[in-house]
Amino acid sequence: MKVLVTGGAGFIGSNFVRLTLQVKPEARITVLDALTYAGNGESLPADERVRLIQGDIADPDVVNELVKNADVVVHFAAESHNDNSLDNPWPFVHTNVVGTFTLLEAVRRHDVRFHHISTDEVYGDLELDDPAKFTPTTPYNPSSPSSATKAGSDLLVRAWVRSFQVEATISNCSNNYGPLQHVEKFIPRQITNIIDGVKPKLYGAGLNVRDWIHVDDHNSAVWAIIDRGRIGETYLIGADGELDNKTVIEMILEVMGQPRDAYDHVADRPGHDMRYAIDATKTREELGWEPGFRDFAAGLADTVAWYREHEDWWRRQKAEAEERYARLGR
Ligand code: NAD
Ligand code: TDX
């Protein structure tokens, strides 16, 4: 099986490549990645079954050539950070919308199976006391330029399935944690701050809730969808991991041997979504998928250990990421 992984030098994509080598040892993997600030070739394992092509998913020539030779395209490439989209939305429109369009045109032309990786933030947010969670029929209601461009890309996929019979599926997953995540994101930012002797930074009061899932559980669900999912369907991926940000910061501090209150409150993110929560019943019942990581505290401790052991991997990103936060006042 020839698998084309877009964005495979990023956080979730590189973990997907690693998982694929284990669960599909016969697969040959081509990673197409622009190696933006968020991509790192060193995240990929050195293995003769994996090759990295540096290129832009919005470049039809590069995309056509690679899609033509693939059996399945798994599309992770994206601009993925909300704070950056508030600073400069254009790369989000380029990659998330134009890039996804370019891939869809190529899979349509060459009749190749496509799986689109999306996010729960396309549904907007929930109130803290809302008994409902997001389901595959929740109306789209994105808040930020990042979520709006991801929502736009999902709608393009749906239209290409219906109008052009493209063989595609979509997954919308909740917040991922684990190794190889860029230090701009919430959990790695706090871990690496503490390693550097800097206090963690909590936006606003920290009551916002995210539904945490280990990156390997996200990726095992992606394979379940590619293997057994129905064409044209949307599958939600989540592991019932709701926690507020204040609690997560306190847990990180505790794992790292610091007082639980040794963090700073900083300015809130404009338009900050209050709560995300996934109902993954359809994915569990229809595909027989179950998350393997059920103990967030243990997964967090492993993640802390990974960042302690891989300073050479993240050190290069850290100063630049903190400079961007300093400009945003966060
Ligand atoms: P990431 O920012 O770590 O990685 C994105 C990768 O895409 C990088 O390697 C980058 O170089 C590459 N890329 C960006 N623009 C490109 C372009 N024009 N052409 C080719 N490559 C390009 O992101 P991530 O956290 O790994 O997220 C991957 C996907 O999963 C995204 O679609 C995101 O919306 C989705 N998702 C993420 C989360 C999360 O918690 N991180 C949760 C749900 C869904
Ligand atoms: O320093 C921080 N302090 C803080 O309190 C940072 C960086 C974040 N936060 C808060 C904001 C959010 O409520 O933590 C929460 C998580 O923030 P992010 O890691 O930026 O993730 P989020 O905005 O929830 O978006 C994530 O989930 C949806 C992914 O980054 C997206 O790619 C995915 O689409």
The confidence band for 202, taking pLDDT boundaries of 50, 70 and 90, is: very high
Q: Where are the alpha helices (DSSP H) in the chain?
A: 11-23, 60-68, 82-87, 90-92, 100-110, 145-164, 186-195, 215-228, 245-255, 281-287, 296-309, 311-328
Residue 130 lies in a domain: yes
Residue range 43-57, pLDDT digits in tens: 999 999 999 999 999
Q: For the domain that residue 219 is a member of, what is the CATH number?
A: 3.40.50.720
* DSSP-derived 3-state class of residue 224: helix
**Nearest-angstrom CA–CA distance, 247 and 260:** 9
Beta carbons within 10 angstroms of residue 265's beta carbon: 12
Is residue 246 in a domain?
A: no
CA–CA distance, 218 with 171 (Å, rounded to integer): 9
Residue 290, in any domain of the structure:
yes
Q: What is the pLDDT of residues 93-102, one digit of tens each?
A: 999 999 999 9
Q: Which atom of ligand 1 approaches the CA of 37 most closely?
A: 11
Q: Tell me which residue has its CA closest to atom 20 in ligand 2.
A: 185
Task: Determine what percent of the chain is predicted with pLDDT higher than 70.
Answer: 100
pLDDT at 178: 98
Higher pLDDT among residues 328 and 291, named by residue: 291
- CB of 58 shorter than 6 A to ligand 1: yes
Contact 82, 146 (CB under 8 A): yes
Confidence of residue 223 (pLDDT cuts 50, 70, 90): very high
Cβ-based neighbour number of residue 228 at 10 Å: 11
For ligand 2, atom 13, the nearest C-alpha belongs to 208
Residue nearest to ligand 2 atom 16, measured at CA: 186
Distances (CA, A) of 326 to 19, 254, 267, 319, 329: 36, 26, 11, 10, 5
Atom of ligand 1 nearest to the CA of 121: 43
- Determine if ligand 1 sits within 6 Å of the CB of residue 36: yes
pLDDT on residue 170? 99
Mean pLDDT of the region 186-206: 98
Taking residues 133-162, report their average pLDDT: 98
**Residue linked to tokens 């179950």:** 290
Residue nearest ligand 2's atom 32 by CA: 80
Measure the CA–CA gap between 193 and 189, rounded to whole angstroms.
Answer: 6
**Minimum CA distance residue for ligand 1 atom 4:** 10
Q: Is the CB of 84 under 6 A from ligand 2?
A: no
Kindly give the number of the ligand 1 atom that is closest to the alpha carbon of 9.
Answer: 9
Expressed in angstroms and rounded, the spacing between residue 85 Cα and the centre of ligand 2 is 12
Residue to probe by mutation, ligand 1, list 62, 76, 90, 217, most atoms within 8 Å of CB: 76
Task: Give nearest CA residue, ligand 2 atom 30.
Answer: 81
Instruction: Please tell me the distance from the alpha carbon of residue 148 to that of residue 125, in angstroms, as a whole number.
Output: 13
Give strand pairing partners of 169. 115
pLDDT at 252: 98
- For residue 1, the Cα-to-chain-centroid distance in whole angstroms is 24
Among residues 107, 5, 95, 94, the alpha carbon closest in space to that of 49 is found at: 5
Please tell me the predicted confidence (pLDDT) of residue 231. Answer: 98
Atom of ligand 2 nearest to the CA of 202: 5
Question: For residue 78, how far is its CA from the centre of ligand 1 (angstroms)?
Answer: 4
**pLDDT tens-digit profile of 81-92?**
999 999 999 999
Structural domain containing residue 138: 2-182+212-240+275-294
The answer to the question of residue 40 being in a domain is yes
Q: Which ligand is nearest to the CA of 117?
A: 1
Q: How far apart are CA 105 and CA 49, in angstroms?
A: 27
d(CA 163, CA 115) in angstroms, rounded, equals 17
Q: Is residue 15 part of a domain?
A: yes
Query: Do the domain assignments include residue 150?
Result: yes
Confidence of residue 127 (pLDDT cuts 50, 70, 90): very high
Ligand nearest the Cα atom of residue 122:
2
How far apart are the C-alpha atoms of 281 and 135, rounded to whole Å?
A: 9
Q: Is residue 207 part of a domain?
A: no
Cα-trace Rg, the chain: 19
pLDDT range class, residue 200, cuts 50, 70, 90 = very high
Q: Tell me the pLDDT band of 247, cut-offs 50, 70 and 90.
A: very high
CA 304 to chain centre: 19
Quote the pLDDT of residue 166.
98
Provide the domain count of the chain.
Answer: 1
Q: Considering the chain, what is the average pLDDT of its residues?
A: 98
Q: Which DSSP symbol is given to 290?
A: -
Confidence of residue 72 (pLDDT cuts 50, 70, 90): very high
For β-strands 209-211 and 242-244, DSSP reports them as antiparallel
* CA–centroid distance, residue 46 to ligand 1 (Å): 21
- CA 277 / ligand 2 centre spacing (Å): 14
pLDDT, position 188? 98
Does the beta carbon of 18 lie inside 6 Å of ligand 2?
Answer: no
